[in-house]
Amino acid sequence: MIIINRFLFPPELSDSVSTPFSRAFLTRLSWRASVFRAWLLILSFIAIGGCANLSNTDIKEPTQATQVQSSTDKPSVVERPFPADTLYSLMAAEMAGKRQQYTLALRNYLYQAKKTRDPNVIKRAMQIARYLKSNSGMLEAALLYHEVEPDNIQVTQLAALQLAKANQFQRSFELSQQLISKGAATQLDFLAAQIVSQKAPPTDQYLEKYQELLITHPDRKDLLLGTSVFYLATHQLQQAMQLTEKVLASDPNDFQPNLLKSRILIAEKRFPEALTHIQDAVQNSPKDHRLRMQYIRLLLNERQINNQQPASKEQAEQIEQVLREQFNQILLQNPRNPAMVINLTNIAAQAGLIDIAELFLKQQISVGYNPAQAHFQLGRFAELAGRLDEALSHYGKVDRGPLLAATGQQANILFQQQKLAEARDLLKQARTAHSDQSVQIYQIEIELLAKHNHLEAAMRVANQALHQFENSTELLYSRSMLHERSGNIKQAEVDLRKILLEHPDDSMALNALGYSLTVHTKRYDEALIMISKALKIKPDEPAIIDSLGWLQYQMGSLEDAQKNLEKAYQQIKDPEVVAHLVEVLWVRGKKQRANQLLFEALEKNPDSAELLRLIQKFNIPKPKTDPAKQ
């Protein structure tokens, strides 16, 4: 089978998104100021713990806030001199942040934190690491902070939490034991969740540790919930429910035990009770979006179950109405929470509630969070719904991120609308504006022209592009596919061998050449060498596995061919792969399974040339009903 072909933060951060580099602070560190003034400013920053809005780590984790210092605290200021190289490094870090070179800023701060062991430098490093969502940076800073202030309870909590996130369970547990001995809160419930999420979790080992702690601390919420998590993971559901109910008895509106109870009920196959329980919990805590999120998931599960079983239209409509209400409530309560908006967009889209997904995307645009990606997704939804002018409008507003993909989609729509000159002019303008991506834009034009049967124009563009980018592997590959489609197998082979001359381990070119030799010639031994080499480079690539299976079929090894084609089919349901597998099954006399696969493939791809050719080749009756139900 032949394959046809952020940075963590957006370039411009909106004012609504808190960053570790405030404009006010960075302005004071402008290069226009004298070096002396800059040094004084950094000294001031170190002395007071940074600018006002950055004086605490503001780290909120799954079960509780773990703060090193609140913004209302008035820390005692310990003035200390720093050497010039430290001052310069910190100033360079701040300027790197202003220029969005966040990784460099973090590296400088972590280095100086280790060098100076100053709490305020450490906190600044943690703020940048948290903003970058750098767990390794947070862990490094938190452990250093704990070394500097081992008796600081908040710092110990933070270190234990970061160790749990890094799967350093024993060290996290030991710090948690220290916290318990001081009567402080822990994240033992979060630690338990991290442990059971591993592929081979040491559940029994830590369940025993938690049970021992419960003997002397029987009423601690963190221990009760953590132990309950272990019981649930080991299917000791009665014990899990008992501990969870004990926590709920003291605080019936707490998110964690309510969520945990719903999961235990699901594990006990008491799904209606789980749904009712979460529904009641949402009513009791209507502003807790986490409970509402679980309610949405359970409703979606309920809808899926109803779709698989006979259900009244009224019942289905009720579920969908409740779903929409829950989505809308979360949006109303959290309109400026980008992460939640994006998460809910994906959930709604996967659930087929496209209008809800579009609503969330528009909200994402209104708060200024990554509008380019939101416009791109809105364009995709509009295009799939056949609203092509609306799709063009959204794609035209993509100015970064998926810009190349948006340009390609715009051009494709214009091709569909028979606006060939306008589409090609759009791509030409894109090449001028984004010269660093000229090769990719040429590829888009070649593939679109070929897709819409303008083969001669596609070849002219390919030749023009290769005149400009003579050794481009991507363009040579595109032209070879054009040659093959035009029946010029000799020239297709020339282009592919030119790629392999420069890149002998290019698995894509190896596979393409091997497959072409299989389909268009009888040079099966050469094809086997090419495909086998490609498979050694990428042993799990389904396109290569399909090529091998099809070659084995041509060589008469039907059993091996079916084995490999089945393997490829399990990974991709591409019509070409299906056609290959169906043909082998049909020839081997396994017509019932062949008919079943053919029916399923035609349901999704009724106009597939590969499937229709297969039907004609073997005079297979086109299945109109599911063979499995006949």
CB 577 within 8 A of CB 546: yes
pLDDT value for 320:
82
The amino acid present at 590, given as its one-letter code, is: K
CA distance 375 to 319: 29
Average pLDDT, the chain: 84
pLDDT value for 2:
55
CB 477 within 8 A of CB 509: yes
∠ CA 308-309-311 to the nearest 5 degrees?
A: 120
- Quickly state the pLDDT bin for 65 (edges 50, 70, 90): very low
Cβ atoms < 10 Å from Cβ of 583:
22
Asked if residue 271 has pLDDT above 50, the reply is yes
pLDDT value for 623:
65
Torsion sign across C-alpha atoms 415, 416, 422, 428: negative
Asked if residue 52 has pLDDT above 60, the reply is no
CA distance 333 to 335: 6
Asked if residue 94 has pLDDT above 90, the reply is no
The amino acid present at 245, given as its one-letter code, is: E
What the block records as the tokens of 60 is 């909120």
Report the DSSP beta bridge partners of residue 65: 60
pLDDT digits (tens, 9 = 90+) for 599-610: 899 888 888 888
CA distance 49 to 44: 8
Asked if residue 191 has pLDDT above 80, the reply is yes
What the block records as the tokens of 551 is 């070659």
Cβ atoms < 10 Å from Cβ of 284:
12
pLDDT digits (tens, 9 = 90+) for 506-547: 999 999 999 999 999 999 999 999 999 999 999 999 999 999
What the block records as the tokens of 495 is 């282009």
Instruction: Find the helix or strand (DSSP H, E) in which 109 lies.
Output: helix 102-116
Percent of the chain with pLDDT over 90: 60
Asked if residue 55 has pLDDT above 60, the reply is no
Asked if residue 80 has pLDDT above 60, the reply is no
Residue-wise burial string across 210-247, b where 16 or more C-beta atoms lie within 10 A, e elsewhere:
beebbeeeeebbbbbbbbbbbbbbeeebebbbebbebb
pLDDT value for 90:
79
Q: What is the DSSP string of 33-50?
A: S-HHHHHHHHHHHHHHTS
pLDDT value for 50:
39
Report the DSSP beta bridge partners of residue 59: 66
Higher confidence at residue 97 or residue 52?
Answer: 97
pLDDT value for 138:
94
CA distance 299 to 329: 15
3-state secondary structure of 59: strand
Higher confidence at residue 289 or residue 338?
Answer: 289
Q: Which of 20-24, 307-311, 444-448 has the lowest mean pLDDT?
A: 20-24
CB 368 within 8 A of CB 16: yes
CB 96 within 8 A of CB 108: yes
Asked if residue 496 has pLDDT above 50, the reply is yes
∠ CA 363-366-368 to the nearest 5 degrees?
A: 115
pLDDT value for 97:
76
Cα Rg of the chain, angstroms: 30
- Quickly state the pLDDT bin for 345 (edges 50, 70, 90): confident
* Cα dihedral 221/227/228/231 (nearest 10): -170
Asked if residue 564 has pLDDT above 90, the reply is yes
CA distance 520 to 584: 18
pLDDT value for 350:
84
CA distance 56 to 525: 68
Asked if residue 491 has pLDDT above 80, the reply is yes
CA distance 94 to 187: 33
Residue with tokens 């024993």: 170
Report, as an integer, the average pLDDT of 257-286. Answer: 92
Report, as an integer, the average pLDDT of 178-201. Answer: 94
Asked if residue 9 has pLDDT above 50, the reply is no
3-state secondary structure of 68: coil
Asked if residue 22 has pLDDT above 60, the reply is no
What the block records as the tokens of 417 is 């609308």
Torsion sign across C-alpha atoms 422, 428, 431, 437: positive
What the block records as the tokens of 335 is 């309109």
Q: Which of 81-95, 141-155, 407-421 has the lowest mean pLDDT?
A: 81-95
∠ CA 329-332-334 to the nearest 5 degrees?
A: 105
CA distance 358 to 506: 41
pLDDT digits (tens, 9 = 90+) for 102-128: 888 888 889 888 989 999 899 999 988
